[in-house]
Amino acid sequence: MAVLRIGDAVGGAALRGAEVREPNEGVRLTDEQRLDWLRLIRSDNVGPRTFRALVNHYGGARAALAALPDLARRGGAKGPARVASREEAQREFKAAQALGTVFVAVGEADYPPRLQMIDDAPPLLAVRGNAAALKRPTLALVGARNASAAGLRFAERLARDLGAAGLTVVSGLARGIDGAAHRASLTTGTVAVLAGGHDHVYPREHIELAEAILAQGALVSEMPFGHEPRARDFPRRNRLISGLCAGIVVVEAAKRSGSLITARFALEQGREVFAVPGSPLDPRAEGANDLIKQGATLVTDAADVLAVLRPILGAAVELRAEEPEPPAAGAEPGVAERTRIVALLGPTPVPIDDLVRLSGSSPAVVRVVLLELELAGRLERHGGALVSLL
């Protein structure tokens, strides 16, 4: 693991200009040093590993900033290296302040302890909400965006049980399994890792969910304010999801999915990998089933996860009785609604009540869609008001 020497990072071995805390609480950057750190990490071609190498070599971010142009020239750069200006960094600080976001530096007391262990931990992590959620034992729960009703139902139950047991549930705020995990753990605390800046929550329909997370949980990002997430940003986000946690649970993941990328990062970071088995007939379960074949811990309930994590976390995590939740309110039918209901179905039988709740449609609308599928020869009905897609 690349080591960032905090004494050097904040201005020399004597910690010049830094507020020194007790050893178990780390150190704290001054505002000027935090500004220099932000300038350095926002400069061209400076990632977390390069940041560490520069700061450790030059004894601080300010000296590293001064050396950047010459380093780039000697490396064969065709043009002058772009070094983030003080004005740019100040604008980002103001934008963060307006949203109630703070920049926490690696080595500071509020920096997530497990994330600090990975080789490419962000030098500065932008945190909004209840930062205490990042100090509790954490577990990631990720999966398919086009999840089945069975997958969503299990993700909700698992997240609710793990939250009640004292764990903070971490995910990526995506559609499907991520969103279900966040919603089910709102009251116990959940952390969403953003692929873009704090002012560009993605997907847009999860803006309200992101706001709801802030009461007991937090939103975190390493990306600049104003940054719209792109495809290549999601793997970067995924390494943070696994890096924050003691382990990761994969629920419904197709082959070559983003969830499997997160699982690969978890293995590289020495985290525990768990997977929920699914129907061999459902492509959404292929990735999770393959993980189990490769040695991931099979999960059928929260107890499976807690049994593995208790010795690692060294904390009391216990299951509690859960309260049943009422079904969601209905809505008017439409083309998009029909598509949403069908997308929730798969080869695994699911209760009709779950289709009503997860789709947000009225029972009458769900019954009509099921009749349509049945008449088309695409639906199979099972005992106990269960249905599956043929």
Query: Does the pLDDT at position 241 exceed 50?
Result: yes
Interstrand relation of 138-143 and 168-171 (parallel, antiparallel or unpaired): parallel
pLDDT score of 325 more than 60: no
Q: Is the pLDDT of residue 214 over 50?
A: yes
Q: How confident is the model at residue 321 (pLDDT cuts 50, 70, 90)?
A: very low
Return d(Cα 210, Cα 272) in angstroms, integer: 27
pLDDT on residue 371:
64
Which of 118-127, 208-217, 312-321, 360-369 is least confident?
312-321
- How distant, in Å, are the alpha carbons of 140, 166, 226, 242, 248 from that of 271? 10, 19, 32, 7, 7
For position 327, what pLDDT does the model report? 36
Residues of each domain in the chain carrying CATH 1.10.10.10? 335-389
CATH code, 131-313: 3.40.50.450
Angle between helices 48-58 and 31-41 (to 10 degrees): 130
Give the pLDDT band of residue 385 (cuts 50, 70, 90). Answer: confident
* pLDDT band at residue 318 under the 50/70/90 scheme: low
Give the separation between CA 293 and CA 262, rounded to whole angstroms: 17
Q: How far apart are CA 250 and CA 237, in angstroms?
A: 16
pLDDT at 25 over 60: no
pLDDT in the model for residue 319: 64
- Segment 181-200 shows an average pLDDT of 97
Statement: residue 22 has pLDDT above 50: no
Comparing 122 with 337, which gets the higher pLDDT?
122
Strand extents, DSSP E, 208-356: 218-221, 247-251, 272-276, 297-298, 350-351
What residue spans in the chain does CATH classification 3.40.50.450 cover? 131-313
Is 348's pLDDT higher than 80?
yes
Confidence of residue 20 (pLDDT cuts 50, 70, 90): very low
Instruction: Provide the angle, in degrees to the nearest 10, between the axes of the packed helices 352-359 and 335-344.
Output: 130
Q: Which residue has the higher pLDDT, 276 or 368?
A: 276
| Average pLDDT of the residues of the chain | 87
At 390 the pLDDT is 84
CATH number of this structure's domain 335-389: 1.10.10.10
Report d(CA 313, CA 303) in Å as an integer.
Answer: 15
